[in-house]
Amino acid sequence: MKLKPKFVLASLFLLTIFLISSLLLYQFFLKEILLELEKKFVTNRIKQLLTYLEIEKEGLLGFTKDWAAWSEAYLFLKGKNPNFPKVNLTVESWTNNNLSILLYVDRSGNPLAGGFYDKKIQKVIPIDKSWVKEHWSTFLKFYPEPGPQTGYVGLSFYGDLPCIVAIHSVTTSDFRAQPVGFLITARGFTQEVLDLWIKLFEFQTLKFDKIPKEKRELFEISFKEEFIYEGKIFLEDFSQTLFLVISFQIFKILPLESYLLKLIFLQVAFLFFFFLVFFFYFKEFLVDRLLSLVKQISELREGRKEKIFFEGKDEIGLIVQELNQLYEKVKTQIKEIEEAKKIYQIIAERANMLIALLDERKEIVYLNPLAKRYLDSETLKRLLTRDKIEKDSYFQICSLNGNFLQVEVIPVKELSSYYLLIGYDVTYFKEKIDQLFEMSIKDFLTEVYNRRYLEEILKKLHPLVKRGEEKYAVLFIDLDDLKKINDTFGHLAGDVVLKRVAKVISENIRESDWVGRWGGDEFLVVIKGSLDEAKTVAERILKMVKDLKFTFRDQVIQTSVSIGIAPLEKDRGIEETIKIADKLAYESKRAGKGGVKVANFL
């Protein structure tokens, strides 16, 4: 059978199959898919809302924990800071933190400071004591003996207002002291919040309610063929004895099933019309000539022809003319490429740099002799897979023989996903840079950090202290009688003492601490931790320095240091803290040398 009858029969057959399959596909498959997509869409919206609620709960509990560890609040609940409510609990404490309830209570649950912020009158009003008692009792039921880090969060109602409620023990900022009271916070879901959720999660309506707790699924959804779905989400409340119910309605997103059948028939009619036009208008004009063209192209590909011969000056004739010209260009370009390839390979092999080419599977296509000395396939694969390289990128890597390489990776977009790698051995320069950096931050004599580097460290640590993320203290260490040693035995003897003392200090601090030479006979140590931890380190340094003995001119001398300790605090600058520690070291020296003085700001 020739091409024309085959074409007609195949077209009619395909048209019939398409029509039947479209009807069956819609009836037994597409309809169910649309409904399943709707279910997944609504379920996904519910999961997003639940995730949002969990994030809100965790955020409120974290906020409550931070404010429960407020030193001012701790002193207030101990009866030592009576002005705390007036000074620290302003209306902005509620509004800035989007709170409905902010309440400090004693260990028996009696309200002492704070209340409920009424948005309508924009004032803080007294809290409902029965509400406090109910939630306080629930908290004690779950935590009969709350510790300094005990906290709990859950969903509840304050009157008609649904909200998240969090309770946390009030203690010191380091969470070590036993609770002196508790902080209760709540963030209400006002109508503004619900409207925001409706817009954010694409609900039609949304409301809260509560019902007795019973065995249920997490959520229920009524999937209908109308344009709106209805559903309920059941969440345990604060007491875990009731369900807090979120009722919602949501529009369907795929109402096209009612038009799908019409669309299928319209598509079939269009294809049938197109087929008729194509068959009666192009059968003689196109099919035979295309078959002839295909045959000649096949002969050209097999090398049996050097050119395609075709009569006619229409579009097909122009295509044939372009194909002939393109074929001649391709032959010429292949010859030029082979010649250029040889030239580039000679250049690459004689270049004083590493050159590698890898394909889209990260397999090596080419390595010049220098690249073979430094790199292997595994090293190159790790380099290309650790980051998604879409533009020219620079890396420093270690070669097979331990040298440092500066490598540029260039995606060759003209070759699909190929990568060109050009590298240089920069081992000598890196070693010199490392040496210069080490010299710039270390004291030449004692080999501990110099003053300038310590100042940079303190500038980086102080913001952590201001945000309450870390605690640090400084030890100002003054070497006793260094001038006397210099005058008696000479400056070389003094240098020996300085180096030995610096070594002792370095060996008796922790990896998280820093030590540097601050002045002639002065050292500064930055301790990560509290004053007690800093004092422990200082006493260890003091003892080890006293155990040092030096012999100069047949005379044995002992050394000692005087140490002042001051904490790095958010309200006190670095320079002022160091001055305090320096003054304390001086006071220790005046008191008899070889001692420790700790700052006391209470």
Kindly report the CATH number that applies to the domain delimited by 351-429. 3.30.450.20
For 176-220, what is each residue's pLDDT tens digit? 999 999 999 999 998 888 888 888 887 877 888 888 877 777 767
* Confidence at 1, pLDDT banded by 50, 70, 90: low
Name the nearest CA neighbour of 155 among 214, 50, 219, 238. 238
The pLDDT value recorded for residue 142 is 92
Per residue in 307-364, pLDDT tens? 777 666 777 777 777 777 787 787 788 778 777 777 777 777 777 788 888 777 778 7
Query: Rounded CA gap, 41 and 201, in Å?
Result: 11
Of the spans 200-209, 289-298, 510-519, 548-557, which averages the highest pLDDT? 510-519
Residue 572 structure tokens? 């006190």
**Fold: same for 69-189 and 351-429:** yes
What is the pLDDT, as a whole number, of residue 388? 66
Is the separation of the CB atoms in 56 and 164 below 8 Å?
yes
Residues with Cβ < 8 Å from 495, sequence gap 6 or more? 445
- 444: pLDDT strictly greater than 70: yes
Instruction: Report, as an integer, the average pLDDT of 43-58.
Output: 88
Residue 69 has a pLDDT of: 92
Residue 409 has pLDDT above 70, yes or no: yes
Q: What is the DSSP letter of 442?
A: B
Confidence of residue 283 (pLDDT cuts 50, 70, 90): low
Give the span between the Cα atoms of 595 and 564, in whole angstroms. Answer: 9
Q: Where are the domains of the chain?
A: 69-189, 195-251, 351-429, 442-598
Residue 195 neighbours by CB under 8 Å, 6+ apart: none
| pLDDT exceeds cutoff 90 at 115 | yes
Q: Which has the closest alpha carbon to 561: 595, 513, 517?
A: 595
Average pLDDT over residues 50-54: 90
Instruction: Please give the C-alpha separations between residue 356 and each of 318, 365, 392, 410, 499, in angstroms, as whole numbers.
Output: 43, 8, 15, 11, 50
Topology, domain 69-189:
Beta-Lactamase (3.30.450)
pLDDT at 284 over 70: no
pLDDT at 165: 95
Question: What pLDDT is attached to residue 250?
Answer: 76
- CA dist., res. 271 & res. 16, Å (int): 11
**What CATH topology corresponds to 442-598?**
Alpha-Beta Plaits (3.30.70)
What is the per-residue pLDDT for 577? 94
pLDDT reported for residue 465: 92
For 361-383, the pLDDT digits (tens) are 778 788 888 778 777 777 777 77
SS3 readout for 20-80: HHHHHHHHHHHHHHHHHHHHHHHHHHHHHHHHHHHHHHHHHHHHHHHHHCCHHHHHHHCCC
Q: Under 8 Å CB-to-CB from 246, ≥6 apart: which residues?
A: 49, 206, 207, 208, 232, 233, 235
pLDDT (average), residues 140-149: 92
Question: Do residues 63 and 101 make contact, with C-beta atoms less than 8 angstroms apart?
Answer: no
